[in-house]
A and B are shown apart, each in its own frame.
Chain A
Amino acid sequence: MVGPRLPAMLKDAGLTTLVAAALGIFIVGFRTVDVGSRTGLGFDYEFADLGVALVVIFVGRFGLSLASIGLRWPAIALGAVMAAVGASPLELPSGFLHWFVVLGGVLLAIRAAWPWANQAFATAVATPGGRALDRLAAKWIGVLMLGFALVLPALPFADQKTMDLGVLILTYVMLGWGLNIVVGLAGLLDLGYVAFYAVGAYAYALLSTQHGLGFWAVLPLAGMFAATFGVLLGFPVLRLRGDYLAIVTLGFGEIIRLVILNWVDFTNGPAGIGSIPGPTLFGAVFAETAPAGKQTVAEMLGIPFDSNQRLIFLYYIILVLALVTNLFTQRMRALPVGRAWEALREDETACKALGINPTNTKLTAFAIGAMFAGFAGSFFAAKQRFISPESFTFIESAIILAIVVLGGMGSQIGVVLAAILLIGLPEWFRDLGNYRMLAFGLAMVLIMVFRPRGLIAHREPSIRLHPVASGGSG
């Protein structure tokens, strides 16, 4: 079966290797090094690294060709050998190459075995038992995740690092759910979502440090400010469609950041705003010693002070905020506005013909999405106690958008999974150093290859005529 096609396959693998060599020779093959004050920069030649990488690429491409003509087992074996070589104590020119070889082998094996896994999954889901299990999983996965999130601080492995990560992930889950209203439901591509996050953060930072207002008083105000900005931006630009809207929102995000950066009198510019007070619990502060006229939480509750208490408190605040976002969105989806959002995403012209005011409908989506970003922003300021324009760059908007899109547009659970994947993975793989962004990129590519419509592409109807049991049949 291989015989006659072997030359073509080898040629294809060779060509791929050649392209990789041409691309890689300057990036991987040379490294500039400081060789002392007089001569300045010199070159280190790392052709051994390049050589190993090219061998991996050649073998990998050849393995993919094998898999594509139906020789899955040899391809998987090839992948396994590669992974074994990478994991072996064999001397390779650099530590990262071990990772690269293992990763290449594993990817090849997964890619070769994927059609089987896919088919096995499809057959399993098609059986009555499988279908029931599938429905059960869809119903309970959210409840299970919520339960886990609720008890996380009490679990034995929940040290400070885990809790910090938990707060970070939940912040992005909340932002993802907020943006999901705009992008997932209303179908408005917003590339400047972080601007509203910044408005919320600066609203709390300025009102608390200059006017002495507390977190709980500012929280609704921050949401209102952000929503107002949403309406102000939305009014002129929401008649644009698709790409045009994306570009204008991108510009808006940058404008807000630049204003914050340059309006030094008001925002303290690039130096940022520091010593922002944290949230209080019934007026008591989280600190070892209370400022004059205040009480610490430890004193109020009569428990010993522990620096983790503040973190756990923050964790529950963001959990509640995120859940409010979610419940609100779920409720809205089943109301006329929510249905109109989804209808607008599907077909704006048809909406107009049905007498739906597209501008107003889009504005509500934009304002509500912005409001939740404002809430999240003021939480962020209260958690960090220091904010500067650097926290609100375009990459934040891009990450939040990636969470929504990779999660599956409009899917609430999908946002959670994607946030765990995209925020959690890079943090867990911090040991990889700079290569952790590679893990981030890889996760994105894998999702795009295997789940092109997002992790959870299933859409649950907002209303049913028939009860669920008969809903899916027919």
Chain B
Amino acid sequence: MATLIEVEHLSMRFGGLVAVDDISFTGQPRQITAIIGPNGAGKTTVFNCITGFYKPTIGRLTLHGDRDYLLERMLGHEIGQRARVARTFQNIRLFPAMTVLENLMVAQHNKLMAASGMSIFGLLGLARWRTAEARAVELARAWLERIDLVDVADRPAGELPYGAQRRLEIARAMCTEPRLLCLDEPAAGLNPRESADLNKLLVSIRDLDGIGVLLIEHDMSVVMNISDHIVVLDYGRKIAEGDPAAIQRDPAVIRAYLGTDESGDDA
């Protein structure tokens, strides 16, 4: 199977601070690739480079879609629009005053914008626009059913409980119909039951929707259960890569997580 995203020699410096140092890895379609590491290891920086929020200092980021997109050369919003990379945020970023359904409609902006003829067909209420809108609502409804939020579709998103907001943010990213989904700590703040539901949702996104997922996560019950491939970062460098079983045995990973053992009694 063809590679979906290729990260080659990615480095990101902020002044004198090297947040990400020469990292390379790949992500495959129909696979969940987890990026783990202690706090400050540079995981979110990698995400911000992939999704265009930062311009990498060095490195090449290629997304293989209908053609090859060089992400480091694209503007922030183009990465979502053309390369179709969607993401969620560590601290949830919904549109809190807008309803749950509206959040999912905004996610289909570019598709609907074309259908509304830059608003002109929409203002005239042409059939072409109305069918496109109805189809967008159906997609949104399908996702609301998958994340079990149909009943609250017309409530402001900001009023939902925390776990529901997490699920809604994933559904919103999926409504952009992405090739690659980047999830930044989706399990943060969830209780064990919600965490288990999240696992099911992510597996279904991988298997049913067939897209590639990049996952940053601290919750090892999520990472080890659903990841196909794991990349471990520490201090901005890649220290290990492999399947969950291999990562759990890797001495470098154990050292990074539990502290160096050089003095013999540290851990």
Question: Please, could you name 22 A-B residue pairs with CB atoms under 8 Å apart, sorted by A?
Answer: A335-B122, A336-B105, A336-B109, A336-B119, A339-B106, A340-B106, A342-B98, A343-B98, A343-B109, A346-B98, A347-B94, A347-B95, A352-B77, A354-B106, A355-B80, A355-B110, A463-B101, A465-B141, A465-B150, A466-B153, A474-B151, A474-B152
Residues of A within 8 A of B86 (CB): 353-354
Q: Are A343 and B95 in contact (CB under 8 A)?
A: yes
Within B64-120, which residues are at the interface with A (CB < 8 Å)? 76-82, 84, 86-87, 89, 93-99, 101-102, 105-110, 112-113, 116, 119
Q: Is A462 an interface residue (CB 8 A)?
A: yes
Interface size, A (range): 20 to 34
Q: Are A354 and B102 in contact (CB under 8 A)?
A: no
Residues of A within 8 A of B97 (CB): 342, 346, 459
Q: Are B154 and A339 in contact (CB under 8 A)?
A: no
Q: Are A358 and B77 in contact (CB under 8 A)?
A: yes
Q: Are A335 and B123 in contact (CB under 8 A)?
A: yes
- Which of B's residues lie within 8 Å of A, judged by CB? 51-53, 76-82, 84, 86-87, 89, 93-99, 101-102, 105-110, 112-113, 116, 119, 122-123, 137, 140-141, 144, 150-156, 172-173, 176
Q: Give the residue name and chain of the A residue nearest to B178 (CB).
A: A355
Option from B93, B96, B109, B152 in Cβ contact (under 8 Å) with A349: B93
Q: Shortest Cβ distance from B211 into chain A, in angstroms?
A: 15
Q: Shortest Cβ distance from B93 into chain A, in angstroms?
A: 4
How far, in whole Å, are A340 and B113 apart by their CA atoms in the complex?
10
Residues of B within 8 A of A354 (CB): 80, 86, 106-107, 109, 172-173, 176
The A-B contact count (CB < 8 A) is: 127
Q: Shortest Cβ distance from A272 into chain B, in angstroms?
A: 37
Q: Are A463 and B93 in contact (CB under 8 A)?
A: no
Q: Give the residue name and chain of the B residue nearest to A462 (CB).
A: B102
Q: Is A464 an interface residue (CB 8 A)?
A: yes
Q: Are A355 and B154 in contact (CB under 8 A)?
A: no
Q: Are B87 and A356 in contact (CB under 8 A)?
A: no
Q: Is A289 an interface residue (CB 8 A)?
A: no
Within A342-389, which residues are at the interface with B (CB < 8 Å)? 342-343, 346-347, 349-358
How far, in whole Å, are A462 and B51 apart by their CA atoms in the complex?
29
How far, in whole Å, are A351 and B95 apart by their CA atoms in the complex?
9
How far, in whole Å, are A463 and B106 apart by their CA atoms in the complex?
11
Centre residue among B80, B87, B95, B96 by max chain A CB count within 10 A: B95
- Top 9 nearest A-B pairs (CB, nearest first) are A355-B80, A355-B81, A346-B95, A465-B153, A350-B93, A336-B112, A335-B122, A343-B106, A471-B154
Residues of B within 8 A of A294 (CB): none
Known: A342-B98, A463-B102. A356 touches B109 (CB 8 A): yes
Q: Is A107 an interface residue (CB 8 A)?
A: no
Q: Shortest Cβ distance from B53 into chain A, in angstroms?
A: 8
Known: A335-B119, A336-B116, A463-B137. A355 touches B79 (CB 8 A): yes
Q: Are B113 and A337 in contact (CB under 8 A)?
A: yes
Residues of B within 8 A of A463 (CB): 99, 101-102, 105, 137
How far, in whole Å, are A349 and B53 apart by their CA atoms in the complex?
9
Residues of B within 8 A of A358 (CB): 77
Given contacts A335-B119, A465-B144, 14 further A-B contacts (CB under 8 A): A339-B106, A346-B98, A349-B53, A352-B77, A353-B173, A354-B86, A354-B173, A355-B109, A462-B102, A463-B105, A464-B153, A465-B154, A471-B154, A474-B151
Centre residue among B144, B154, B173 by max chain A CB count within 10 A: B154
Option from A340, A342, A355 in Cβ contact (under 8 Å) with B176: A355
How far, in whole Å, are A339 and B78 apart by their CA atoms in the complex?
19
Within A107-141, which residues are at the interface with B (CB < 8 Å)? none
Known: A346-B98, A459-B97, A465-B144. A357 touches B77 (CB 8 A): yes
Q: Is A332 an interface residue (CB 8 A)?
A: yes
Q: Are A466 and B106 in contact (CB under 8 A)?
A: no
Q: Give the residue name and chain of the A residue nearest to B155 (CB).
A: A474
Known: A461-B99, A463-B137, A465-B101. A352 touches B109 (CB 8 A): no
Q: Give the residue name and chain of the A residue nearest to B81 (CB).
A: A355
Centre residue among A331, A335, A465, A474 by max chain B CB count within 10 A: A465
Residues of B within 8 A of A461 (CB): 98-99, 101-102, 154
Known: A354-B176, A465-B137. A339 touches B105 (CB 8 A): yes
Residues of B within 8 A of A346 (CB): 94-98
Residues of B within 8 A of A465 (CB): 101, 137, 140-141, 144, 150, 153-154
Q: Are B141 and A352 in contact (CB under 8 A)?
A: no
Residues of B within 8 A of A466 (CB): 153-154
Residues of A within 8 A of B173 (CB): 353-354
Q: Shortest Cβ distance from A378 into chain B, in angstroms?
A: 22
